């Protein structure tokens, strides 16, 4: 049953701030962490917000890669764009670019982490993966983000980006990984997954 907000006279269906569906944190080096929302979709949730915090990935860049099933990533199919500016260069036009048919969404604008142990990445990631109407003829998930992270070249940075996955089969979740996915390059991470219903 949905939660309702009331002022004593009228009531409204509660649609925010969402349900905390999953969360995690580690300061031990890992190769990846799977942020699974498939079970939330099965329960009727189809909009998600992922708060990523304390991302340390020095010398590598983070990706959010769509999952098609447990422990199964989609190795291509991410399209979109990003822009970044910051302490090292404030010209946003110099660091905006598109990405085509990539493995994963490049949330740090394909810039390696340069955290110096203290200046870690923090991102808010929005995910749209509708349950209804049936999305068999649409490309999902749609993913867009904002963040700040100390990264190569632009240093302390403002980062925005977004895109879509076009393989039609990745509704299980997203994997936080590095561009060297087979090794433990993520030195620290935290996340919270919030689930929302669109209706």
The burial of 100, by beta-carbon neighbours within 10 Å (0-12 exposed, 13-18 middle, 19 or more buried), is given as exposed
Q: How many CB atoms neighbour CB 104 within 10 A?
A: 27
Q: Which residue has better confidence, 199 or 41?
A: 41
Read off the pTM.
0.90
Distance from chain centroid for Cα 125: 4
**What is the per-residue pLDDT across 27-54, written as a single tens digit (0 to 9) for each?**
999 999 999 999 998 888 889 999 999 9
Confidence (pLDDT) at 169: 87
Confidence (pLDDT) at 193: 95
Q: E-strand spans in 57-187?
A: 62-69, 72-73, 78-86, 96-102, 121-128, 142-151, 155-165, 173-178
121-128 and 142-151: which strand pairing? Answer: antiparallel
Residue from 84, 171, 191 nearest 127 by CA: 171
Confidence (pLDDT) at 9: 64
Q: Which residue has better confidence, 15 or 20?
A: 20
Confidence (pLDDT) at 83: 96
**What is the per-residue pLDDT across 52-61, written as a single tens digit (0 to 9) for each?**
999 999 999 9
Give the DSSP letter of residue 153. T
**What is the per-residue pLDDT across 129-152, written as a single tens digit (0 to 9) for each?**
987 666 555 778 999 999 999 999
Cα–Cα distance, 107 to 113 (Å, whole number): 11
Residue 198: pLDDT band (50, 70, 90) is: confident
Q: How many CB atoms neighbour CB 124 within 10 A?
A: 13
Residue 14: pLDDT band (50, 70, 90) is: low
19-196 topology per CATH: Jelly Rolls (2.60.120)
Is the CB of residue 77 less than 8 Å from the CB of residue 165?
yes
Which residues share a beta bridge with 146? 124, 160
Distance from chain centroid for Cα 97: 18
- Percent of the chain, pLDDT > 70? 87
Q: Which of 24-33, 36-45, 95-104, 155-164 has the lowest mean pLDDT?
A: 36-45
Q: How many CB atoms neighbour CB 72 within 10 A?
A: 14
* Annotated domain spans of the chain: 19-196
Confidence (pLDDT) at 67: 97
Residue 10: pLDDT band (50, 70, 90) is: low
Is the CB of residue 177 less than 8 Å from the CB of residue 62?
yes
């Amino acid at each position: 049953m949905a939660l309702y907000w009331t002022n004593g006279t009228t009531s409204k269906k509660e649609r925010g701030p969402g349900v905390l569906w999953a969360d995690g944190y580690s300061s031990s080096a890992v190769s990846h962490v799977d942020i699974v929302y498939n079970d939330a979709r099965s329960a009727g949730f189809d909009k998600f917000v992922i708060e990523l915090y304390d991302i340390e990935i020095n010398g590598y860049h983070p990706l959010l890669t769509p999952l098609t099933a447990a422990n199964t990533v989609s190795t291509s199919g991410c399209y979109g764009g990003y822009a970044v500016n910051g302490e090292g260069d404030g010209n946003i036009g110099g660091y905006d670019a598109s990405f085509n048919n990539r493995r994963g969404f490049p949330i740090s604008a394909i810039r390696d982490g340069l955290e110096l142990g203290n200046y870690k990445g923090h991102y808010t990631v929005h995910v749209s993966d509708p349950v209804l109407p049936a999305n068999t003829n649409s490309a999902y998930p749609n993913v867009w983000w904002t963040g700040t992270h100390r990264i190569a070249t632009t240093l302390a940075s403002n980062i925005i980006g977004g895109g879509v996955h076009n393989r039609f089969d990745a509704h299980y979740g997203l994997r936080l990984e590095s561009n060297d996915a087979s090794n433990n390059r993520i030195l620290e991470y935290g996340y919270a997954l919030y689930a929302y219903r669109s209706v």
